[in-house]
Chain A
Amino acid sequence: DAGVIQSPRHEVTEMGQEVTLRCKPISGHNSLFWYRQTMMRGLELLIYFNNNVPIDDSGMPEDRFSAKMPNASFSTLKIQPSEPRDSAVYFCASSLEAGPSYEQYFGPGTRLTVT
């Protein structure tokens, strides 16, 4: 299996622009997670989907952030408008099931820089 695929790997944009991050989970996995990693806050869960349905979006920082999962093989995380404080590495992860014993497989991440 190719693992979790994320694109782009690097994104540099100007403040105010829209940014869309993409994720393809591992085939057959029914749970998908978006995380953000920063030096200040470490790894934070932004949103969790189960069977394509958003279950917990309490980690989404504000209304500028939105996420969708239109089908089992694709998810997007959108930031509109972007701000410099959104600069971070964004990881997508997937899991076979939602239970605690199931490991989450992480993608390589998208490094976002907002200038």
Chain B
Amino acid sequence: GDSVTQMEGPVTLSEEAFLTINCTYTATGYPSLFWYVQYPGEGLQLLLKATKADDKGSNKGFEATYRKETTSFHLEKGSVQVSDSAVYFCALRGDYKLSFGAGTTVTVRA
């Protein structure tokens, strides 16, 4: 079945550091790929998405490129802020169902 593997956290960074969270997937067909973010005490918010190979999703300084050859969708941000502290989930959707990774907790220190 479909599955997502993302790097384990927690990740602790200083403000303005570069952030990368690795995500790889296993799926049949051509899934869409997503990154969701969950701030403390809140629900999940869509951060960005890509629906086909080589698409780049971007939002709020975050980027991820759909790499079919490596089955990856790594999340990057060039300069993180304290407000980026959250849990980040990689997910794929092959049909109706979202399959999530385990989540990566990111803490950014001033």
Contacts and interface: CB of A to CB of B under 8 A. Distances in A.
Q: Is B a genuine binding partner of A? A: yes
B96 A56 contact: yes
Nearest to B101: A42
B69 interface: no
Contacts of B97: 45, 48, 56
Contacts of B34: 103
B102 interface: yes
Interface string B59-98: 0000000000000000000000000000001000111111
A53 to B, nearest CB: 12
A34 interface: no
A100 B93 contact: yes
A108 B42 contact: yes
Interface residues of B, number: 23
B17 interface: no
Contacts of B31: 100
A107 to B, nearest CB: 6
Contacts of A42: 100-103
B98 A104 contact: yes
Contacts of A48: 96-97
Contacts of B95: 98-100
Contacts of A74: none
A12 interface: no
Nearest to B29: A100
Interface of A: 4, 31, 33, 42-43, 45, 48, 50, 55-56, 91, 93, 95, 98-101, 103-109
